[in-house]
Structure 1
Amino acid sequence: MALTDIWFLLIAVLWTGYFVLEGFDFGVGMLLPVVGRTDNDRRVAINTIGPVWDGNEVWLIVAGGATFAAFPEWYASLFSGFYLALLLILLALILRGVAFEFRGKIDSERWRRNWDRAIVFGSLVPALLWGVAFANIVRGVPLDAQHAYTGTLLTLLNPYALLGGLATVALFGLHGAVFLALKTEGPVRERAVDVARRGGLLALVVGGAFLVWTELAHGAGWTVGAVAVAAAALAGGLWLVNRRDGWAFALTAVAIVAVTVTLFGSLYPDVLPSTIDPAYSLTTTNAASTPYTLTIMTWVAAVFTPIVLAYQGWTFWVFRRRIRPSDIPASSGVPATAR
């Protein structure tokens, strides 16, 4: 296997890890006003992802860095053509991180409500736009002979891409609801189970429609197996909610893996197809760095990847316990009367 193919596979693995791990973060954030009727409930929900959300975002940084180093032409065309969408994602992620840190700084219901809205916005926007972006990557965009993007923002808002955005929102919402069912006790868990059962059907329908469209229009033949795995995992996860929470969460994670495999499998050997002329498409060959660069990157990845995975696995093990309402201490912000 050529180094270009290896790095395409590694980048696919990085994006898969990001969507699996950050997917439940997005889901918890989007569902915050649904599962959290009181401030204590919302704090329970936020504390399920509090120790891990920033570590999960590292997968995005590494995926972007690996794309820049291994396939600079892909990175350049992608980030120039998708500039506004990626900027919105970045701003949303920054806003969400700030909201996590600031919502408890002042003991004011209005203050916390405003930051809770920021968490919802900072979770919903990336969940939607990542689906739109990857759907466009698979579908193709107008690239000219110099591999420059010639479309506009409206070019990216086509029906297939919008369906992809809705599919990732529904899928991440389900993933987050199952994660809350796994990680909490009390009212938050009960509401999360209800959301998973109701929203899971939506994820199955919308996600299924998107995958079928992908397979019919861009499928690689073998990707039909990944579509079947995604559908079976989603159905199994729904059936196991409130029975075996751990298995239900594992199955929703498998569904996200299968969806990502379908997208990257439908894309290969292209990395960014051109809708103007297939000859203008970026591939794993014409978008790649030099063999020397890829060789050095491979050795670095072989040394440090196991270390990072071990550390992140240890983090999840340390914070594996369910969170109960009684675990949340009294609000410690500045009293409203003292401001």
Structure 2
Amino acid sequence: MSLQTLWLGLLGLLLAGYFVLGGYDYGVQMLHPLLRADPDAERERRTGQNAALEAMAPFFLGNEVWLVAFAGVLFGAFPHLEGTLLSGLYPLVVAILVGLVVGNAAVQLRGRADSARGRRCWDVLIVFGGALPALCWGLVVGLLLHGVPRRVDGSFHLGAGDVFSPFVLACGVTTALLFAAHGAAFVALRSAPRLAATARRLGAGLVRATGAVGLLPLLLTLFGAGAAMTNRVTSAVVAALFAAALTGAWWFLTQGHHVRAFAATSCATLLPVLLVGAGHYPYLLISSAGAGLTVGQSVTDSATLRILSAFGVAVIPTILAYQVWSWWAFRGRTGRRHPSYF
């Protein structure tokens, strides 16, 4: 296996990891006003804490390490892709960053509000900070699947018609619903029984909504109407796995199998990344107006990859070890005696 392939796999792994771990952060943020149970509501009235937010609190900022690592690999190993992609997707990238900053600040400041009105204001910003990045990541996936209007010099500029086409919008809404369902499954896994039951019912409905909305882009992708996939068979397999993961998530949620439900939503959340990477390989960027950008054209030289590999051998296992340790250290459900992090 070549260094190019290894670094491409690492790039996909880091983005998929962020979709799984950052995805439930977005989902919990979007849903936390709806995820209340009677005892937790009383606790929130007295302390200003929200039980759904407390469920994700120990992992909240740590999950963004995956996004930072993804950006580092993109800058270092695929500079030609980075230069084309970030400049062309600049409005969506800015929107994602705005959502991250607003959401992070609101989550941490909500518990310091002195009144119910103040907490409601922060609630609005928390939901906004979760929904905006979730929707924009879905739009990015839709654009990468469909192709961008790449010019002769390699650059591209997105117009309103490109971003708000039916296929790209359907991808955006599907991803936002999927992240919300993933967040509900996470709360069901981590919270006290009463709140877990509320999250389980909400998650099952969101999984059905994800499947209903996602059916359009999936069918358009398979028939080549919404996305001109390079590898049709691979795309069909990934699409089938996505449908199976959603079906499994719905079944496990309705049956109360929280661990299995969270595993199923995690699989569904990472599969869009695999669909983009494996479905378009060897292209990393498909053009709707001409030639695309291949792996060989995107990657840096072999000498630089070898130097980066030395850092990757040390950094990536550290990230994985930290993630495993944090989940082990904060395993189990939250409850009344659980310490407050916000």
What TM-score do you get using the length of structure 2 for normalisation? 0.90
Q: After the TM superposition, which of the residue ranges 58-67 and 238-247 deviates more from structure 2?
A: 238-247
What is the rounded CA distance, in whole Å, between the counterparts of 1:320 and 1:32 in structure 2? 20
Q: Does 1:248 align with 2:261?
A: yes
What is the rounded CA distance, in whole Å, between the counterparts of 1:322 and 1:234 in structure 2? 24
- In structure 2, the residue corresponding to 1:271 is in which secondary structure? strand
Shift of 1:26: 0.8
- Conserved? CA contact 1:271–1:284, under 8 Å: yes
- Conserved? CA contact 2:149–2:287, under 8 Å: yes
Q: How big is the alpha-carbon RMSD for the aligned residues of Structure 1 and Structure 2?
A: 2.0
- Conserved? CA contact 1:28–1:173, under 8 Å: yes
The sequence identity of aligned pairs, in percent, is 33
Q: How does 1:271-290 map to 2 (within 5 A)?
A: 271-278=284-291, 281-290=292-301
The alpha-carbon distance between structure 1 residues 36 and 155, as it changes in their structure 2 partners (threshold 3 A), is: same
- Conserved? CA contact 1:171–1:207, under 8 Å: no
- In structure 2, the residue corresponding to 1:301 is in which secondary structure? helix
Match of 1:63 in 2: 70
- Conserved? CA contact 1:175–1:252, under 8 Å: yes
What is the rounded CA distance, in whole Å, between the counterparts of 1:7 and 1:214 in structure 2? 26
Match of 2:3 in 1: 3
Match of 1:335 in 2: none
The Cα offsets for residues 53-75 of structure 1, whole Å up to 9 and x where unpaired, read as 11111111111121111111111
Q: 1:101 aligns with which of 105, 108, 124?
A: 108
Q: How does 1:38-77 map to 2 (within 5 A)?
A: 38=41, 40=43, 43-77=50-84
- Conserved? CA contact 2:200–2:256, under 8 Å: no
Match of 2:93 in 1: 86
Unaligned stretches of 5+ residues in structure 1: 333-339
- Conserved? CA contact 1:186–1:324, under 8 Å: no
- In structure 2, the residue corresponding to 1:286 is in which secondary structure? helix
Q: After the TM superposition, which of the residue ranges 187-196 and 44-53 deviates more from structure 2?
A: 187-196
Match of 2:166 in 1: 159
Shift of 1:202: 0.8
Q: 1:301 aligns with which of 301, 307, 312?
A: 312
Shift of 1:326: 5.6
Q: Does 1:205 align with 2:212?
A: yes
The alpha-carbon distance between structure 1 residues 216 and 3, as it changes in their structure 2 partners (threshold 3 A), is: farther
Q: After the TM superposition, which of the residue ranges 206-215 and 170-179 deviates more from structure 2?
A: 206-215
- In structure 1, the residue corresponding to 2:151 is in which secondary structure? coil
- Conserved? CA contact 2:55–2:334, under 8 Å: yes
- In structure 2, the residue corresponding to 1:222 is in which secondary structure? helix
Counterpart amino acid of residue 72 in structure 2: G
What is the rounded CA distance, in whole Å, between the counterparts of 1:40 and 1:137 in structure 2? 44
The Cα offsets for residues 88-132 of structure 1, whole Å up to 9 and x where unpaired, read as 110110011111221122321111111111110000000000010
The Cα offsets for residues 27-57 of structure 1, whole Å up to 9 and x where unpaired, read as 1111011113737466110011111111111
- In structure 1, the residue corresponding to 2:153 is in which secondary structure? coil
Match of 1:20 in 2: 20
The alpha-carbon distance between structure 1 residues 40 and 118, as it changes in their structure 2 partners (threshold 3 A), is: farther
Aligned residues: 329
Counterpart amino acid of residue 329 in structure 2: V
Shift of 1:257: 2.5
Shift of 1:203: 1.3
- Conserved? CA contact 1:27–1:172, under 8 Å: yes
What is the rounded CA distance, in whole Å, between the counterparts of 1:188 and 1:312 in structure 2? 25
Counterpart amino acid of residue 318 in structure 2: I
- In structure 2, the residue corresponding to 1:34 is in which secondary structure? coil
Q: After the TM superposition, which of the residue ranges 10-19 and 210-219 deviates more from structure 2?
A: 210-219
What is the rounded CA distance, in whole Å, between the counterparts of 1:122 and 1:207 in structure 2? 23
What is the rounded CA distance, in whole Å, between the counterparts of 1:243 and 1:214 in structure 2? 33
Match of 1:291 in 2: 302
Q: Does 1:29 align with 2:42?
A: no
Shift of 1:258: 2.5
Counterpart amino acid of residue 295 in structure 1: R
- Conserved? CA contact 2:248–2:264, under 8 Å: yes
What is the rounded CA distance, in whole Å, between the counterparts of 2:157 and 2:110 in structure 1? 42
What is the rounded CA distance, in whole Å, between the counterparts of 1:102 and 1:81 in structure 2? 34
- In structure 2, the residue corresponding to 1:177 is in which secondary structure? helix
Shift of 1:213: 2.2
What TM-score do you get using the length of structure 1 for normalisation? 0.91
- Conserved? CA contact 1:211–1:259, under 8 Å: no
Shift of 1:211: 2.6
The alpha-carbon distance between structure 1 residues 289 and 231, as it changes in their structure 2 partners (threshold 3 A), is: same
What is the rounded CA distance, in whole Å, between the counterparts of 1:39 and 1:152 in structure 2? 48
What is the rounded CA distance, in whole Å, between the counterparts of 2:260 and 2:143 in structure 1? 32
Shift of 1:181: 0.7
Q: 1:231 aligns with which of 240, 243, 256?
A: 243
Q: 1:322 aligns with which of 333, 337, 340?
A: 333
Counterpart amino acid of residue 226 in structure 1: V
